Structure formats: C-alpha cells, structure tokens
Amino acid sequence: MVGESTVKWNPFAPDYFHDPYPIYAKSREHNPIQRDSYGNIIIFKYRDVAPLLESGDFEVSNLEAYFESKENYIFKNSPQCPFLAKTTSKWLMYLNGDIHRKLRIALGKVLFSYDFDRLIQEAVQDSIAHFQDYQELDLVDFSKYFIFHILKQFIGLKDFASFEKVVEFSNLAARSQDIFVSKQMYLKINDCFTWGKGLFAETGFKDRLVKELDGFEFEEEDYYSILAVTLMAFFETSKDNLSFSLHHILLKRSLIEYILEADAKQIKWITEELIRYNSPLQFTVRISKKEVEIDGHHFPTGTRFVLGIASANRDEEIFESPEEIIPNRQINPHLAFGSGPHTCLGALIARKEMEFGLKPMIQFLQKFSIMTEIPLVWGNQIFMRTLDKAMVNID
C-alpha cells in the first residue's frame, strides 16, 4: 500500500529548508509514492511525475475556490475585507479548460510583444552600475534589483511602487500558494492584496491585455488578478533561480571559467543545467479527472497529487550525476517549467535572463568571494524554494 515505508517526506524536519534534497533522494529510493495526513498523494520519481504533467486526465487545483472555502474561517471575527479569492481568480496556473487556453494565448501575445532582449541587457548594465562600488553585497539583493528593473519597464508600476514594496508584494503573493499557511499569515497576505491594487499604473501592459481580451466579460478585479500573478510569477522564480545560480557559480572556479569562456550555445547548456539543478518551483498540484493507476497503485477520481518537480529533476534514472552541476549537459529533459498544457508561460523569458545576463554578471561578480562565515538564509516556503540571503565580499 501507499505510504507504508518509514521514509516520509516531512517539510518540518530540522534543516529541511536548508536542503530538502536528501529526503527527496530517500523518498525516490524507498517510498516514491506517499500519502500525507490530508490524503494528498506525493510523488517523487521522474517516471511518475512527467506523465501526470503531460496527461489530459488531470487538471490543476482551483486556488480561488480553495480560498473561498477557507475565508469564513480565516476572517471570522475580523473586520478585514476578504480579498484572497478575488485576487487569485485569474491566476493562469490555477485555471482549467477554455478560460485557461484563451487567457494563456492573450497573455502570451502581450508578453512577447516586448523587446525582452533589450530590457534584459539594459537591466544587467543598470545592476552592475548600481553595485559597482560595493565591497560586499547580497547576491539575493543583486538578483532582486536586476529582475525589478526588467519588471518595471514592461508591467507598468506607479512611482510610489518602490523596490521594497514590490519585493514584499511578490513574496507574500508567492506564500499564498504554499501549504500549511497560518491564519495570521493569510490575514497579512489579504492586507497585501488589498493595498497592492495601487501598485499598477494604467500603462501599456494593461492596455494591451484589455485589447487582447476584447469580448471577455472581465472586471477591474480580474485585470488586477492577472497583473498580480504576472508580477509574482515573473519576479519570484526569476529572482530565486538567479540568486541560486550566482551562488553556485561563485563557489566553484571551474564554473566561473566555463561561463567566461563560453559561446552562446554553451551558455544555453549551462542555463538549462542551472534551472534543472535549482528548480525554484519544488512542487505542483494536479487533480485526477478519472480513476488512475500509477506504478501499480489505483487512485479514484478527484485524487489530489502533489508532484515533486525538484525531486524528479535530480532523479538518478534520468540524469547522470544529478547532484552535480554539469555545465555542458546536453541531454536535459528537466521539468522545472512544468510540462503539458500548463508549461510555464514565462519560460522563454527566464531563459533569456540567464542567456543575456549570466556572462556579464559573472564578469563583474568574479571579484567577490562567498562569505562562508555568514550562513545562507533560506525562506520557510515549501512549494517555492527561496534564498533570502547569500553574502559575498571582496577579499
């Protein structure tokens, strides 16, 4: 039966947030399909995760409905206006069917109408200039600054939407999706979503989106929902992937030298490898639309599966030496951007950020060394792995 092994995934174990990969490896070996105390089925092996992402027999969970079911509890005896369900109603990764398809097409047209090659190159130079005279810096702050400067150029932010405000909004929006979120945190996230409506300016991004969605009966709350998830999805995963990558590279001289000497094709190889290795999105959820059999186990319609993307990306059956960064790994079928109908819409942009940004960043950052006496600080998030601090200095 599922879950009989003594090896169990436990995100509350000591040091889990510092490094969850050992328990992923043990789970793949000893207990690759587990049932948690809430009845969720957690899957760790690539051969099981990949088909579920591709299959049309599964759909994504409905975050708006989930929050609606919780709001009576969350906001009981509270004067605050519930806003969680409204703000998440048009988050693309939680939509199914025709609305998902049409909104994905419209949002894709808007995103790819921008010259991201130019925006990324300008943001790299702005970031290097900003940190030029620093004797020590936080790689996470460096990554945030870079992503923020791309973001503000295309999404349309008001003047008061400071770097700090955008970082806070993005992080809390990301935390809203996590599991085991406290009532107090939901109240904080709700406040964030309420005041966050004022972040966005009436500029090009929204205008283009309205035009592409002509004929949809969308209200202002719907457009805010789309703007909110675009900001969060663009900022969080890009910031996390870049900060992880820079830290790993600066730890190893051979990776620095590889990047400095690499041509465009070699940069693409290491970009994919870093994305595989980092996997900022650790898990995603799928719900079965009919009875399903996985590795000899039968599950009824409506079973909620938690798919271990990060675990699958380190699966020994698929990747040679998966715990190593192999910069010229050319066969790399990682699942970091998902797969199937819900493949990450921003995957191309995320790749461009690394392909245009990695070499000039390392040319600048190679003068810094990791401050090993200051430990890395990891965020306490389960679904999206977040590095909060990674200090470097000039010796």
- What are the sequence ranges of the domains in the chain? 21-393
Residue-wise pLDDT tens digits, 21-62: 999 999 999 999 999 988 999 999 999 999 999 999 999 999
Phi-psi region of 15 (alpha: psi -120 to 50; beta: other; left: phi over 0): left
- The confidence score (pLDDT) of residue 104 equals 94
pLDDT of 80 above 80: no
Question: What are phi and psi for residue 293, nearest 5 degrees?
Answer: -115, 130
Paired tokens of 392:
């470097």
pTM of the model: 0.94
pLDDT at position 38? 85
Q: Which CATH architecture has domain 21-393?
A: Orthogonal Bundle (1.10)
What mean pLDDT is predicted for residues 237-242? 94
Write out pLDDT tens, residues 269-278: 999 999 999 9
Q: In this model, does residue 1 exceed pLDDT 60?
A: no
Q: Does pLDDT of 88 surpass 90?
A: yes
Q: What value does the mean pLDDT of the chain take? A: 93
Whether the predicted pLDDT of 125 surpasses 60: yes
pLDDT at 3 > cutoff 70: no
pLDDT at 180 over 90: no
State yes or no: pLDDT of 75 exceeds 90.
no
